[in-house]
Structure 1
Amino acid sequence: DNMNEVFFTYDKNGCITFVNKKCYASLGYKPEELVGRDITEFVPEGERPNILKNINSRIMKGEASSYEIPGLHKDGSIRHIKVNASPIIENGEITGGMVLAEDVTEFKMAAHKLDLQQVYFKQLFEGSPDGIAVLDNKDTIIDINRGFENLFKYTLDEIKGLKINEVIIPEGMVEEANSISNSVNNGNIIQKEAVRRDKHGKLINVSILGYPIISRGKQIGVYGIYSDITNRKNAEEQLKYFSLHDVLTGLYNRAYFEQAMRSTESEGGSLTGIVVCDVDGLKLINDTLGHDSGDMLLITAAGVIRQSFEKIGIAARIGGDEFAVLLKTRDEYEITSALRHLRNSVEVLNLSKPDIHLNISLGLAINTDGLRKPADLFKEADNNMYREKLGHSQSARNAIVQTLMKTLEARDFLTEGHAERLQDLVVILARELKLPEHGISDLKLLAHFHDIGKVGIPDRILFKPGFLTDDEKKEMQRHSEIGYRIAQSAPDLIPIADWILKHHERWDGRGYPLGLKENEIPLQARILAIADAYDAMTNDRPYRKAMSVNEALMELKHNAGKQFDPLLVDVFADLMEKVQINS
């Protein structure tokens, strides 16, 4: 009755004859509740045939047996019972059986839980994208997962039994690796970013988690978990780079430049000197050829500045068109040589690439006595730069305008001679209208430069052989405004800037860009419109043959009062007819 295991007896009919007190702890029944009842009542219904079979086939034949059965607890739950059954023999006759039973439910549950943990660990170990190595306490490799194989390109057969620090540690990092190993082997959890090496010698940025394996309070090994952080490190490097560099030119940016000036001052040193550079005419290039061309001008300028000062200074882009150089030397010869190199490079560049004109204004300030503050040096260099810029800014803009005109002439080869013919036509009409000679000179200038804004129109639109789409027409119509901005930048063209803007207005108000009509349109623009249309019609184009003079004059008269000033059309037609008769 005082045994630690459940003990009960039954007769040969399977009726319980005795139960000890332990039964209450295992199945929830008091002994008096079980005595006299059939033993099969305390197992699930599906197990009862097996119990009867065991009694009949073994116990009643005098054989002992051992097995596990599910037992029904009084509360309805199932308990796992390990049974050792033997027959009871009296006077040589089997009168029943006796059972020694042990409740193994908790052991079963613990075993099941352990099995699940092993399954979970195996799936986690094998399926983890991170590289995992299982090591003993001496850093010897016991096992690795697929993540480790993928990361470091080793198979388990290649490295099992080797020291981890002999396999993946780059030269020069052994001491750091040993420090990590010692710390983890002393029971510490370590997380650290480091560089490791794969089978082929490639260096990999990894995050390492070193984790001690503890069993029954004793450390039996180490998990080494390696996460590839190469992409993150590259992104961090890019962010760091772009935080200190100008994205367009690759030079340092204003933030770095100002930081470098402050560092010089805070560290007790003195800045030797500053050069401030400004790209002349950038706005004009942006407004006419577009920001892509402006960007190319800035990239070109940055390259020249970097090359000229790379040995004696640090170049940075500090604004839209402004650059600055922190000088490392006070040697006047070196500084003068760098400035001369920059100016010569700009000159050579403009000769070799006439399609784009680069001009850079420079300002220099040198800290001769070493006592001046960086901010004062920068202000002096900036003032010197603006002084130079004022001295040749207009000539620089004129050079850009001339470059744009040459570019237009080079692109507009299909209408070669158009400007010269147009000048002759407007002069004939202007003199018939008795305009003053200075006005005729401006008209000739208009005839030559009226389409200068086309330099800002893409070739795919300017030279498209077929009809333009609505969007392409809008893009083409921008050439009047672009031309106006160019003319406003050149003193020689300022008198005709307004006429360039309005030379595509129509008499009926359906022109562009302002929708002016009749006498709101300047006389010079009305004269040019007639002469331009006449010349276009009487000369070959890629998409059609030239009209005859009479056909062209008929077309002008047909559009008089619509596209053209009707009075001027009459005057022009009479003139052309007289010229035709005389010729």
Structure 2
Amino acid sequence: MIDGIKYKKILKELPFGYALHKIILDAKGVPVDYEYIEVNEAFEKFIGLEKKDIIGKKITELFPSMDNSDLELIKSYGNVAINNLEVEFEQSSKKMKKWYKVQAYSPKKYYFIAYYIDVANQIKEREVFKSILVSITEGIIATDLFGRIKIINETAELITGFKENELADGNIFEIIGICDGTGKDIFDFINKGGVLKERKNIIKSKTGREVPIEYSISPVKDSNGDIYGIVISFKDITEKISKDKELDYVTYHDSLTGAYNRTFFNNQIENIDKMDNYPLSIIMGDVNGLKLTNDAFGHLMGDRLLKSAADIMKRICRKSDLLVRWGGDEFIILLPKTSYEDVAQISERIKEECLKENIELLNISISLGYDTKKDKDEDIMKIVTNAEEMMYKVKMLESKSTKSRTLKLIINTLHEKSEEDGLHSKNTRKICRLIGEAIGMTKEKISELEILGEIHDIGKVAISKDILNKPGKLNEAEWEEMKKHPQIGYHIVSSSSDIAFLAESVLAHHERYDGTGYPKGLKSDEIPLMARILSIADAYETEVNNRKYREKLKKEEAIAELLKNSGSHFDPKLVRIFIDKVIDKL
């Protein structure tokens, strides 16, 4: 045992304040004061008084201006002295201008010993720590070693929906569920100096909304390196997830049709080409008439055609099937666990569905080919090639009728936009035939010349209806728009193999013999013969019939105009033949 001398020596050398007190009760036995019995040198420095001025004095004598909190502290010490209790707490004294920790116990009834430890530096550290946490833009929650919440910054309040006073001393794992489990294993890990970084989880806000977060957990240490709590930093990643999904969608989807794109196919084909998906079938599809539709009705109509075709294929396909835009007007469908017989039936259903749908009278047609991979030894890209080859064979058979229907639709659309153009085409066709006969063309060439006379203005289908039917003279901008129709017509006609040989004549039918025409400025024999014939038939038919922008000319006046422009606008030899051999037949 330690003898009295040694004990007093130990008390004297203690680095923190020590004081033995006797509690003083009033008549009712209520603690109202206490007296200092013994103190050490550290307590003298702590309180700022010498021992002789402390021993035998009451606390109320040393500090006469006691407030309610001081009186409550006396009662607390009295409870320790009377009931043989132990307490530990931190206390702030305005009188001494100190923050200190108190550890108090009772050696015998009505007495208590208190150790006073200056924690001002620790408090400052904590306040600095708290101010740093509050200022951080991430959500911050600091707890003690039992997970009881001590600090929560404004960002954390916004994310969780809780205010600091609603969470104070609540268990973070029970209230918010910031990470999986009860947290015991996490505290064991943190207490050993471990750190959790960039983990992901979902927490529940005050309203019950699930919030995806990314979080890190670190220990909080005092100036001695002892761990006294943990700090959890986290951020709401809802927007990040949304952006990642959006980026993922943009990366792997075709923006027009919503189908997957070729990048998706290239990245995922190895994951799809697995035993679990065999037999794996592939359909290769090509949307017919896209170029013709783009040239005649514009790319917006072409886009509608592609979207409608994709929608049809999506409707027929199952959820497990994957539609991929292969490029341009081509699509691939990946069909897991689909036999060759089944994929044939699916292809037929797609074709049947196409027949039920059209866009402003424009038929939707998709040429389809398919093949099936039955075992792992087959090359998946060979299956793609087989489906593609079959598709091209089908397209050769279907393309002709599809383009024929589309051309007919284009011509009908033009005639609906402008009745004058419809009548003009029929009359021009007749005049072309007569000129062809007059110069001794073969029946085959005359037939081609008649077709040219009927379709030469097909490019006007893309010209505004207001311009086509304007009663007065076109202004400069309108005229520039009108001058585009030979080029548009060229693209439309060249898209159809049956009449593609007439494309150059359609393009050149507004060229002039002297090279002042458009669009290329061709002259003389550079202009195709059929185009030179057409220009005369076109001009004469226009002159002798009423137009919205002028009255018709008499036959003699029209002939005079042809002669006047012979050699400049028109081929002089052809003008002479027209006047000598054709005019009387009209």
Tell me the TM-score range normalised by the shorter chain.
0.5 to 0.7
1:207 aligns with 2:220: no
C-alpha distance in 2, partners of 1:120/1:412?
81
Question: How far apart in 2 are the matches of 1:388 and 1:203?
Answer: 53
**Within 5 Å, which residues of 2 pair with 1:399-410?**
399-410=405-416
Q: CA deviation at 1:450?
A: 0.6
Q: Which amino acid aligns with 1:445?
A: I
Q: Which residue of 2 aligns with 1:300?
A: 308
Give the match's secondary structure for 2:521: coil
Q: How far did 1:502 drift?
A: 0.6
Which residue is equivalent to 2:551? 546
Output one character per residue of 1:25-46: Cα deviation in whole Å (capped at 9) or x when no partner. xxxxxxxxxxxxxxxxxxxxxx
Equivalents in 2 of 1:166, 1:488: separation in Å? 73
Change in Cα spacing, 1:169 to 1:117, as seen in structure 2 (3 Å) is: closer
Give the alignment's TM-score, normalised by structure 1: 0.67
Structure 1 distance, partners of 2:172, 2:252, is 39
- CA–CA distance in structure 2, aligned partners of residues 235 and 545 of structure 1: 61
Distance 1:120 1:274 in 2: 62
1:352-403 deviations in Å (ceiling 9; x for gaps): 4354333222222234577644344333333322332333333333333333
User: Which string of whole-angstrom CA distances, capped at 9 and with x for unpartnered residues, describes residues 223-255 of structure 1?
Assistant: 222223333222222333344333332223334
**2:346 corresponds to which of 324, 338, 359:** 338
Contact 1:282 1:321 in 2 (8 A): yes
Task: Name the % identity.
Answer: 31
Tell me, in whole angstroms, the C-alpha distance in 2 between the residues paired with 1:552 and 1:458.
Answer: 29
Distance 2:572 2:184 in 1: 96
Aligned pairs for 1:298-337 (under 5 A) are 298-310=306-318, 313-331=321-339, 334-337=342-345
1:284-332: CA deviations, max 9, x gaps? 4445545444333332222222222225633322333332233333456
Q: Is the 8 A contact 1:330 1:368 kept in 2?
A: no
**Match of 2:152?**
144
Say if 1:143 and 1:156, in contact at 8 Å, map to a contact too: yes
Supply the distance in 2 between the matched residues of 1:514 and 1:259 (Cα, whole angstroms): 47
Question: Within 5 A, what are the aligned runs for 1:247-396?
Answer: 247-263=255-271, 270-310=278-318, 313-331=321-339, 334-349=342-357, 352-353=358-359, 355-367=361-373, 372-396=378-402
> Could you tell me how far 1:515 is from its partner in structure 2?
0.9
Partner Cα distance (1:165, 1:463) in 2: 76
What is the Cα deviation at residue 181 of structure 1? 6.1
Residues 172-191 of structure 1 correspond to what in structure 2 (within 5 A)? 174-175=180-181, 183-184=189-190, 187-191=193-197
In structure 1, distance between residues paired with 2:564 and 2:577: 15
Residues in 1 aligned to 2:284 and 2:546: alpha-carbon distance in whole angstroms: 52
Q: 1:331/1:498 Cα in 2 relative to 1: closer, same or farther (>3 Å)?
A: closer
Q: Is the 8 A contact 1:271 1:370 kept in 2?
A: no
Residue 237 of structure 2 aligns with an amino acid whose one-letter code is: I
Matching residue of 1:75: none
Distance 2:363 2:490 in 1: 20
Q: Would the alpha carbon gap of residues 177 and 530 (structure 1) be closer, same or farther in structure 2, given more than 3 Å must change? A: farther
Q: Say whether the 8 Å CA contact 1:504–1:512 is kept in structure 2.
A: yes
For 1:84, the equivalent position in structure 2 comes to: none
| Contact 1:271–1:374 (8 Å) recurs in 2 | no
Distance change in 2, residues 1:438/1:272 (3 Å) = closer
What does residue 81 of structure 1 align with?
Answer: none
The one-letter amino acid paired with 1:345 is E
CA distance in 2, matches of 1:255, 1:244: 6
Aligned partner of 2:243 in structure 1 is 235
Aligned pairs for 1:445-460 (under 5 A) are 445-457=451-463
Once residues 207 and 312 of structure 1 are traced to their aligned partners in structure 2, the CA distance between those partners, rounded to angstroms, is: 32
Matched residue SS, 1:204: strand
| TM-fit CA distance, 1:500 | 0.7
Residue 128 in structure 1 maps to residue 133 in structure 2: no
Structure 1 residues 251-273: Cα deviation after superposition (integer angstroms, max 9, x where no partner): 23334435554335566874433
1:224 correspondence with 2:232: yes
Distance 1:429 1:513, change over 3 A: same
The 8 Å contact of residues 210 and 222 in structure 1, kept in 2 or not, is answered as: yes
> Which of 146, 160, 163 pairs up with 1:155?
163
Residue among 471, 480, 485 paired with 1:479: 485
The one-letter code sitting in structure 2 at the alignment partner of 1:200 is: T
8 Å Cα contact 1:183/1:190 also seen in 2: no
State the secondary structure of the residue aligned to 1:138.
coil
Does the Cα contact within 8 Å between 1:483 and 1:500 map onto a contact in 2? Answer: yes
Contact 1:306–1:315 (CA under 8 A) maintained in structure 2: yes
Please report the TM-score for the alignment, with normalisation by the length of structure 2: 0.66
The structure-2 alpha-carbon separation of the partners of 1:291 and 1:578, relative to structure 1 and needing over 3 Å to count, comes to: closer
CA contact (8 A) 1:308 1:342 kept: yes
Aligned-pair CA distance for 1:428: 5.1
Counterpart CA distance in 2 for 1:142 and 1:528 is 92
Distance 1:378 1:419 in 2: 46
Q: 1:196 to 1:476 in 2, by over 3 A?
A: farther
After superposition, the Cα gap between the structure-2 partners of 1:422 and 1:521, relative to the gap in structure 1 and judged at 3 Å, is: same
Trace 1:87-98 onto structure 2 (pairs within 5 A).
none
- Partner Cα distance (1:165, 1:306) in 2: 46
| Equivalenced residues, count | 463
Q: Secondary structure at the match of 2:327?
A: coil
Write the deviation string for residues 456-485 of structure 1: whole angstroms up to 9, x where unpaired.
Answer: 556687678884556x75554443233223
Task: Give the partner amino acid of 1:208.
Answer: Y
Report the aligned-residue RMSD: 4.0
1:98-109 alignment to 2 at 5 Å?
A: none
Residue 233 of structure 1 aligns to a residue whose secondary structure is helix
Q: What displacement does 1:344 show?
A: 0.2
Question: Which letter does structure 2 place at the counterpart of 1:496?
Answer: L
**CA–CA distance in structure 1, aligned partners of residues 222 and 263 of structure 2:** 55
